[in-house]
Amino acid sequence: MIFGGSGDLAMRKLMPALYNLALQRLLPAAFCVVGTARRPLSDAAYREELRLAVSQHSRTKPLNEEVWRSFAENLHFVATSDDRGYGKLRETLDRLDHELGTHANRLFYLATPPPAYASIVRAIGEHRLRGDTGWARVVIEKPFGHDRESARELTEILHTVFREDEVFRIDHYLGKETVQNILVMRFANGIFEPIWNRQYVDHVQITVAETIGVEERAGYYEQAGAMRDVVQNHLLQLLALVAMEPPAAFDDKAVRDEKVKVLRVLRPITGDDVRMNAVRGQYGRGFIEGVAVNAYREEPGVARDSRTETYVALKCWVDNWRWEGTPFYMRTGKRLPKRSTEIAIQFRAAPHQLFSREASEGLEPNALVLRIQPNEGISLKFGAKVPVQGIRIRSVNMDFDYGASFMVEAPDAYETLILDALRGDATLFTRRDEVDQQWAFVDPIMEAWGASPTDPPIYEAGTWGPIEAHVLIERDGREWRKA
């Protein structure tokens, strides 16, 4: 069941993901998709729209007509603009259950704008769409509320119809191969975990950089900003995965328990600390990949005096035994020079400098970099002797390139996550208490910024954020990596 079945998300992500799952023979034998939206649409017209969307957005091309035909036979559409529509929806679901023998196992995917969540959940309850037998799960997209309070309200609404273990909050970052690989790298290998702590790690940098501007999302983005759009979910998730303790098992409870523990000890940035440890910025005019681009305030749908932040840099502390004294620097922004998501673990320098200053001029501290996108991979930076007479040291990279090592294209995050949701594996989804802790961290900063009389500093599009962000890290004698 996809609510918002003819919307952008369904067209660009969900349907191509489902189609690719079908292509890989990963969908169950008896399976169908019912899309719903306000505007009326026949099954045939719906299928045709989806066909176009999938052939355009699928990661595998061209469309396999045979597979599509059989997949499309199980696509249905019901318009739900009123109670009658929901009644019809229920009839359709019951009929399909009967035909396919699916025992009313139902996955509800809320692919609508967040304001519609409440009424949809209510309707699912009132019209008893959950069915009497079988399982029911609901997948919802971020944002999960706009602050701690509203996130709690949303959870309460969801809980009127679904139990917490039936709620799958999706953060598509967690579906990425390389993000899951953080856990594999840390906990399937013996050599990293012993040095994964304050004793060896000088600091950690997490970067989520985009080159795109606000595009068509101004309506949402004006309210959200970079903090709610990226920090609250993606950045804090990455932080949790890097900083967490080894879970006892790779299951949804153990993994998420450990993540929550990290979020709980993430030192809040409040009051005066905000000025010191949190930097916001908003992009001005500039150039991206050689093309002149507008300032944020010139974008369609954005207020001319908007104070929404499009850039955030933070210095955080994880107050526990493992990380005492090791700062985590995080940054995210739009209209930065390059699209890049990565986590860099920067290790301490060798304790004793054996080589002359001149010889080691090209030497940088060891760093382990987990590249999430693009060019997924891992690289380890270390010093090596340059092949000349005498000693001259330079940093070199030992590189692991995902694509070149496995020679297969990684599945799209949505494929992974939808399949997990169908299987009922919630490991890669965000639990209520995680969301709650994420907001507990974000809210005080947003409050301080909201109360501040000044505008966010402007940075030129195509640069790495405002000068304040550089000050934030250079004050500590460190610098942002050249991502």
Partner 1 sequence: MAQSIAIDTTFWGARVLGVAAVERELTRLRRAVIAHALEQRLVAARASVLNLIVYAEREVHARRAAKSISELALRHPSRAIVVLADRGAREDVEARIEMHCHLPAADNATQVSYEQILVRARGDSRQRVASAVIPLLVPDLPVFLWWTGAPPVGGPPFGDLLGVADRLIVDSSDFARPDLALPSIARICSQARGLFGLTDLNWTRLTPWREMVTSFFDVPAWRPFLETTTGVRVGFAVDMDGRDIHPSQALLFIGWLASRLGWRRVDELAPSEAGGLLFAIARADGARVMVRVRPRFERGLEEGDVSGIRVQAERDGQRAEFVVKRQPDERHQTSTVLIDGRTRWERTVPLPSPAIVELIGEELAILGSDRTYEEALAALVRLS
Cβ-based nearer residue to partner 1, 241 or 363: 363
* Cα–Cα distance, 431 to 252 (Å, whole number): 9
Cβ pair 10, 2 in contact under 8 A: yes
* Least CB distance to partner 1 at residue 1 (A): 34
Cβ-based nearer residue to partner 1, 248 or 386: 386
Cβ-based nearer residue to partner 1, 127 or 394: 394
* Cα–Cα distance, 86 to 93 (Å, whole number): 10
Cβ-based nearer residue to partner 1, 134 or 362: 362
* Cα–Cα distance, 477 to 227 (Å, whole number): 26
* Least CB distance to partner 1 at residue 386 (A): 5
* Least CB distance to partner 1 at residue 368 (A): 11
Query: Three-state SS string across 227-295, please?
Result: HHHHHHHHHHHHHHHHHCCCCCCCCHHHHHHHHHHHHHCECCCCCCHHHHHEEEEEEEEEEECCEEECC
Question: Other C-beta atoms within 10 Å of 63: how many?
Answer: 16
380-408 burial string, b = 16+ CB within 10 Å, else e? ebbbeeeeeeeebbeeeeeebebeeeeee
Strand partners, 209: 333, 340
Cβ pair 301, 218 in contact under 8 A: yes
* Cα–Cα distance, 235 to 343 (Å, whole number): 10
Cβ-based nearer residue to partner 1, 261 or 339: 339
Closest by CA position to 253, among listed 96, 403, 102, 427: 427
DSSP string over 56-87 = HH-SS-S--HHHHHHHHTTEEEEE-SSHHHHH
Cβ-based nearer residue to partner 1, 308 or 340: 340
Cβ pair 347, 368 in contact under 8 A: yes
Contact positions vs partner 1 (CB under 8 A): 211, 286-292, 337-340, 342, 358, 361-362, 367, 369, 371, 374-375, 379, 381, 386-388, 392, 394-397, 399, 401, 403-404, 407, 462, 481-483
DSSP string over 91-126 = HHHHHHHHHHT-TT-EEEEE-S-GGGHHHHHHHHHH
* Least CB distance to partner 1 at residue 372 (A): 12
Give whole-number Cα distances, 250 to 180, 425, 432, in Å.
11, 11, 19
* Least CB distance to partner 1 at residue 481 (A): 7
Cβ pair 110, 138 in contact under 8 A: yes
* Least CB distance to partner 1 at residue 285 (A): 10
Cβ-based nearer residue to partner 1, 152 or 339: 339
* Least CB distance to partner 1 at residue 184 (A): 22
* Cα–Cα distance, 338 to 334 (Å, whole number): 10
Q: Which residues are catalytic?
A: 234
